[in-house]
Amino acid sequence: MVKTSHNPTSSTTHTGAGGETHQTAGGDTPVMTTQQGVAVSDDQNTLRAGAGGPALMEDFHFREKIFHFDHERIPERVVHARGYGAHGYFELTDSLSDVCKADIFGNVGERTPAFVRFSTVAGNKGSADVVRDVRGFAVKLYTKQGNWDLVGNNIPVFFIQDAIKFPDFVHAAKQEPDRDFPQAQTAHDNFWDFVSLSPEATHMVCWAMSDRAIPRSFRFMEGFGVHTFRLINDEGHSTYVKFHWKPKLGLQSVVWNEALKINGADPDFHRRDLWQAINSGNFPEWELGVQLFDDDFADSFDFDILDPTKLIPEELVPVRRVGRLVLDRMPDNFFAETEQVAFCTQNVVPGIDFTNDPLLQGRNFSYLDTQTKRLGGPNFTHIPINAPKCPFHNFQQDGHMAMHNPKGRANYEPNSWSQPTGGPRESVNGYRSYPDTISGQKVRQRSESFADHYSQARQFFISQTPVEQTHIRDAFVFELSKVETPAIRARMISHLLHVDQGLAEGVAKGLGLSPLPAPAQAARPVVEGLQPSPALSILKNGPDSFAGRKLGIVVTNGVDAALLAALRNAAEDAGATVELIAPTVSGVRDSAGHDLIAQQKINGGPSVLYDAVALLPTVEGANVLRHEATMRDFISDAFAHAKFIAHNDAAEIVLAAAGLHPKARDRGVIAIHSAQDAASFIQTCAALRLWEREGHVHAV
């Protein structure tokens, strides 16, 4: 820009290459920002592919500005409708200032306010928590430079490669339109018809059929940014990045039979878990990890880094832990905050930029329309949960439910009014997109580098333990068994033949399909030599203690006070919580004469609500409980779901009533008599499940 004559305002005036007027903030002139508080570097020109080229969809400043103008005259989310959120903070532990100029990554120890919303994708607002589904993991960070929304999932890849297919994918996954069911599940013809005709979905479908899709808790699942983004440093150098959230308490999921029963016993299971953890002071925590790589790696990698159906194995590019996310406060009001929070992938701050990932580019366009439709107009950023916590100024005005309008005479720029009337101006430190070189014809065409649809699906499957592989096979069988059209089932198996022969044969056998169909035609040959990635397995990345888990203890009147206290203390010392399950919710009196309040009643507190269970009845109490059907279910479910079971001698009566005679038990059914036994049992529970039992008890 060339400087022109001095303007009577306190800002500096420049002339751009096209002769347009630019006024830059200075002195007492406020900096112009977007509604998210991000400083604007150029308010005269849209972002385009070359000076004479077409405008680019990713120009979030233009989109926001024109969109707000279009709505100046004066509903449940389509997806991710069922969500739950919490406040917290992000604390930087390792500076990224060498690769990123964003303030949030500059000062070690600095805390940035955050709000996180977890969600399911397919279900409506009133659906259950523990359904087989992808989980949204959306983080709003209120940085000093404006709001940054990292809007991701608990799975690092997605079903589609181009955002133009998003309406089709969602329509296929939701209820079938003529009957409006099934709710909150994909076990129906439309979904499997779509994905079986979309080979690009094969990788994600394998993740969705894994235990990643039925997490035990929000606190025990990973989060991913999904896309490849750019980090920009002070010198303008770009580094590619993929974002990861790693749970401090390790990974954990449930089994399918257990998930079905949890939804019956407590459809708010995940919500209740987060609420209880935060309100008891056991604040959930994740580490932010980044995979950083350059163009040389991108060029040498077997797959296109811009393909959202692909991941980069951590063994190739290690995840660098740079900060921690802590959730320490629940919303004051669910609707005002969790329901009205509006996430947009376009909300980034200086130092963080987009790539040409076609799914990300489309998301940048879509989210603003979605939030405005839901929240009534262009002023949803005025709602406190969405407003930045740094100063923000612009000339956007009016519209539905406007809370902030420009003060004074000026509602446009450039203008010649002095301050404060003149209002905000551009900033030399405002957001600038990375000047990536773009050339080529305007075409509707997908990159050939996106054409390998099976290799990473195969890598994911072989990275799982045998237990997890069995769960994936059984999930495919369950889902496809609900498909009424045989041709769709066969078509899906034709894709699985490229993933793993044993998987395809196992699914076909479970469906009674014979002979096997021919393999689907692959756009590119499957890469057979990809090595397993242990980071992709839940069981290989589980916890090393029982911390954060829940122990359910069945008690009756006269329960051994010393043994109960020892077990409770051992669990709480390990960081677990304890609930008592009794014949009545009013509780019991222990052997020392103390009255104990129960948290659950026998027929209202099934074992699916706990990570491990203990049976401490008296002989008299056990003789009553052995006639209780829900007590027998409590034991048989815990055993079938491979959980650890502690018991005293009197519990032999109820164990036998549930069919667990001594010869039917294994090393996961543990007798305890002393404080030492109790401590040993809790140590054993760190493994969470005795998976070897599944080979004998098939309940998934």
**CA distance linking residue 187 with residue 185, whole number of Å:** 6
Closest CA to 681 of 639, 655, 646: 646
689 annotated to a ligand binding site: no
Q: How far is CA 189 from CA 79, 181, 528, 532, in A?
A: 19, 11, 31, 32
Spell out the residues 6+ positions from residue 241 whose beta carbon is closer than 8 angstroms to its own: 228, 229, 230, 231, 290, 291, 292
Catalytic entry in 22, 61, 80, 495: 80
693 annotated to a ligand binding site: no
* 382: annotated active-site residue: no
> DSSP secondary-structure letter at 181?
B
230 annotated to a ligand binding site: no
On whether the CB atoms of residues 308 and 55 are closer than 8 A, the answer is no
271 annotated to a ligand binding site: no
Strand order in the sheet with 21-24: 2-3, 12-15, 21-24
On whether the CB atoms of residues 54 and 442 are closer than 8 A, the answer is yes
Spell out the residues 6+ positions from residue 278 whose beta carbon is closer than 8 angstroms to its own: 86, 284, 327, 328, 329, 330
User: Between β-strands 285-293 and 146-153, what pairing exists: parallel, antiparallel or unpaired?
Assistant: unpaired
Q: How far is CA 26 from CA 92, 589, 594, in A?
A: 31, 74, 72
Cis preceding-peptide flag for 318 (omega within 30 of 0): no
166 annotated to a ligand binding site: yes
* 153: annotated active-site residue: yes
Q: Say whether 240 sits in a helix, a strand or coil.
A: strand
Catalytic entry in 153, 379, 386, 394: 153
Whole-angstrom Cα Rg for the chain:
28
324 annotated to a ligand binding site: no
**CA distance linking residue 286 with residue 328, whole number of Å:** 12
Handedness of CA 433, 438, 443, 448 (dihedral sign): negative
For 437-473, the DSSP string reads: -----------GGG---SHHHHHHHHTS-HHHHHHHH
**CA distance linking residue 477 with residue 598, whole number of Å:** 40
**CA distance linking residue 504 with residue 386, whole number of Å:** 46
Instruction: Give the residue numbers marked as catalytic.
Output: 80, 153
Binding residues for heme: 77, 117, 166, 363, 367, 374
Binding residues: 77, 117, 166, 363, 367, 374
